[in-house]
Amino acid sequence: MKELYKYLRMINKHPQSICALATVIEVEGSAYRHEGAKMLFMENYEQFGLISGGCLEEDLQIHAMNVIKEKKSKTLTYDLQSEDDLGWGQGAGCNGKIKVLVEPFYWQEKDHAGASLWHQVLAKFDQGDSIISVRGVGGELEGARLFFTTNGRKISCSPEFEEVLRDDVEQFYQDHRVFEYQFNVELKTHFIFELHESNDRLYIFGAGPDVEPIVRRAAEFDYCTIVIDPRDSRCNAFNFPQASLLVTEHPETFLNENSIKNNSYVLIMTHSFIRDQFIASYFINNPPKYLGILGPKRRTESLLHPNKIPEWIRSPVGIDIDAEGAEEISISIISELIKARNYKRAWNKKRKKNALLYRQEGGFFEK
């Protein structure tokens, strides 16, 4: 989930403003968006993001303005199964019930020690770290917060519940979960567990014309794109205005001088067999989260000969939509990148569906 990172960057630009952050915390049945989905309301009535397809946002705006005014959180329930307008069911296009937390959200918020809370969190995001947050909702620890990086480092916390929940945080991460809303009997409080990520880094080796629509569309979906190509006639801001970074170096030089984290996405598109061969060999020994190689499968087989293509390499790159031309191919590639990015959410949906089936059959579900 990357919305927190995006919204933090926005409120950082308006440090004196009070905003409201809406989060879907519980879903029964079907809904437009999943648990953990967020929407930002500014005090000047600007809105960013969507919780539903447009049927709830007007009412949420009213509640958000009250939250901004009173600086006090509230939890709302919308029953989209109801057949009357008061229940939000008519014309909603959904068949479920959702619970939404609306809370004050502002850059100047301090942690329990008086330090700038969001400055610390954003700094970790900008370093490429993922963060697990825990938020008390209702009960005796309403509003209490805890933040950890996924390597176990504490960022900020409320000491009154850190030790009690630390094991739950570790289990949450080990189970590859992205969102959990649960009641803690010992602390008599509901808690939201969330995994937050910064923008994904997408390294593209090659700056040909076919890369331009990929970079353009990647920016629309919050990828931080780095283009590497030695030709300054191609690798420049005129051709790639949406790129986060342009590196006019040979891939060999770049890879020898830089380390690429294993949660990164990589596309090999230099159109040079020798150069692609070197890049592919490098990432075989240093696997990223996603590696896609442009061109037919037989070309990739030649690149890696005598070794076989590992199953985790996407070759040919992109989802098969019978794409033709750079624009359509870019759509197939971005679609595959989004699918790779959302694998944890898909896995959790399957896990929860299986748990429901077990309960309906009178059994029990074990992770």
Cα distance between residue 20 and residue 105, in whole Å = 5
Give residue 153's pLDDT. Answer: 82
- Return d(Cα 14, Cα 12) in angstroms, integer: 5
CB-facing half-sphere around the CA of 324: CA atoms within 13 A = 1
Integer Cα distance of 337 and 331 in angstroms: 10
Q: Model confidence over 332-363: pLDDT tens digits?
A: 999 999 999 887 666 666 665 655 554 555 55
What is the average pLDDT across 143-171? 83
Confidence at 175, pLDDT banded by 50, 70, 90 = confident
- Which residue has better confidence, 183 or 158? 183
pLDDT digits (tens, 9 = 90+) for 253-271: 999 999 898 889 999 999 9
Torsion angle (degrees, nearest 10) of CA 168, 171, 173, 176: -130
Domains of the chain as residue ranges with CATH = 18-105 (no CATH), 110-198 (no CATH), 200-343 (3.40.50.720)
Confidence tier at 174 by pLDDT (50, 70, 90)? confident
Could you tell me the pTM of the whole model?
0.76
- DSSP 8-state secondary structure symbol assigned to residue 209: G
- Tell me what the pLDDT averaged over the chain comes to: 87
Q: Are the C-beta atoms of 45 and 51 separated by less than 8 Å? A: no
Banded model confidence at residue 111, pLDDT cuts 50, 70, 90: confident
Task: State how far the Cα of 92 lies from the Cα of 90, in Å rounded to an integer.
Answer: 5
Give 302-343 pLDDT, tens digit per residue: 999 999 999 999 999 999 999 999 999 999 999 999 999 887
